[in-house]
């Protein structure tokens, strides 16, 4: 058996038109999965799906969805089932962070949006997908969190709070779904070169501060997170649930401090 084989599996990956989500979709398609590309913008989704289908014909479909809309998420699930018949893997990757600065300056609306999009939307989507996995007694749910949930920050504190909540969401759901063979895990990336994190890595001072205490002395690239997602979705990780894989170049080791 190929431990990382995803042949015949269907995976929904939110926020998969670019960045980490796109890299995960590409990697899962490489391993034989059919993938659902989803984000707010249909054109961006189509471009990502076309690139995957050029390499693996018929491997990707597009179902746009805004994670802040429960109706959009239900349509994402319903349309996936209609076109592909089932859902074996769910990757909750999409997130938002509309505020950069100290906690004292965040508005209620901004804080609420972060919690709703990064935690509650994950709960919604998992609740829509999990019943069929529970009935089938098989499935893998992956939440892309962040090492921000393990540390502190003077500029993305609310985002970090939401990502810490994702760790606990995975632990709780792992306990609930475990008896039915459904696994729930997190990935906690460090700083990765994506448009989403541009405010951090484009700032030379921030980039220097991050990489100075990172053993690999650099930030990550999207494809370097994808392997962890393939592992968590595949037979290689069937005895793993409620856990978090940290992929951060070693930055949380405290090296050099």
Here the CATH number for the domain that contains residue 50 is: 3.40.50.720
For residues 35 and 62, the answer to whether their CB atoms sit within 8 Å is no
**99 part of the active site:** no
For residue 135, give both structure tokens.
């009935």
For residue 190, give both structure tokens.
């460090």
Q: Is residue 4 part of a domain?
A: no
Q: Three-state SS for 139? A: strand
For residues 129 and 173, the answer to whether their CB atoms sit within 8 Å is no
Please, which residues have CB within 8 angstroms of residue 204's CB and are 6 or more apart in sequence?
A: none
For residue 78, give both structure tokens.
């319903």
Question: What pLDDT is attached to residue 213?
Answer: 84
For residue 201, give both structure tokens.
């890595």
Spatial separation of the C-alpha atoms in residues 192 and 22, rounded to whole Å: 13
Q: Which domain holds residue 62?
A: 10-192+223-250
For residues 116 and 37, the answer to whether their CB atoms sit within 8 Å is no
For 108-125, how does the pLDDT look when each residue is reduced to its tens digit (9 = 90+)? 999 999 999 999 999 999
Tally the domains of the chain: 1
Spatial separation of the C-alpha atoms in residues 163 and 148, rounded to whole Å: 7
Q: Is residue 211 part of a domain?
A: no
Q: Is residue 207 part of a domain?
A: no
Q: Is residue 216 part of a domain?
A: no
Q: Is residue 1 part of a domain?
A: no
> Can you list the residues of the chain whose pLDDT is less than 50?
none
Question: What pLDDT is attached to residue 256?
Answer: 57
* Residue 34: closest CA among 54, 57, 15, 9: 9
For residues 226 and 247, the answer to whether their CB atoms sit within 8 Å is no
Spatial separation of the C-alpha atoms in residues 118 and 96, rounded to whole Å: 7
- Out of 99, 111, 124, 159, pick the active-site residue: 159
Half-sphere exposure of 89 (CA within 13 A, CB side): 32
Spatial separation of the C-alpha atoms in residues 233 and 142, rounded to whole Å: 8
For residue 64, give both structure tokens.
């746009």
Secondary structure (DSSP) of 147-188: GGGTS--SSBHHHHHHHHHHHHHHHHHHHHHGGGTEEEEEEE
For residue 57, give both structure tokens.
């014909």
Q: Is residue 213 part of a domain?
A: no
Question: What pLDDT is attached to residue 254?
Answer: 79
CA dihedral 161, 167, 173, 179 (to 10 degrees): -170
């Amino acid at each position: 058996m190929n431990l990382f084989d995803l042949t015949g599996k269907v995976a929904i990956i939110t926020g998969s038109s670019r960045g980490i989500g796109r890299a995960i979709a590409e990697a899962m398609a490489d391993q034989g999965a059919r993938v659902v590309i989803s984000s707010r913008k249909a054109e961006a989704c189509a471009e990502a799906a076309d690139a995957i289908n050029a390499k693996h014909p018929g491997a990707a479909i597009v179902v746009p969805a805004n994670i802040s809309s429960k109706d959009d998420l239900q349509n994402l699930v319903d349309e996936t089932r209609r076109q592909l018949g089932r859902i074996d893997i769910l990757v909750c990757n999409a997130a938002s962070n509309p505020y950069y600065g100290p906690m004292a300056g965040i508005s209620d609306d901004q804080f609420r949006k972060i919690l709703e999009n990064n935690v509650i939307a994950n709960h919604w989507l998992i609740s829509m997908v999990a019943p069929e996995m529970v009935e089938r007694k098989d499935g893998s749910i992956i939440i892309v969190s962040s090492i921000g949930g393990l540390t502190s920050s003077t500029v993305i504190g609310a985002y970090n709070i939401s990502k810490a909540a994702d760790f606990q969401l995975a632990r709780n759901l792992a306990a609930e779904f475990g008896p039915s063979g459904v696994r729930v895990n997190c990935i906690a990336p460090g700083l990765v070169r994506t448009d989403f994190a541009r405010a951090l890595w484009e700032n030379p001072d921030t980039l220097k501060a991050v990489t100075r205490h990172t053993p690999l002395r650099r930030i990550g690239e999207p494809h370097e997170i994808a392997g962890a997602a393939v592992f968590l979705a595949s037979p290689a990780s069937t005895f793993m649930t409620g856990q978090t894989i940290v992929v951060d170049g070693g930055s949380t080791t405290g090296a050099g401090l």
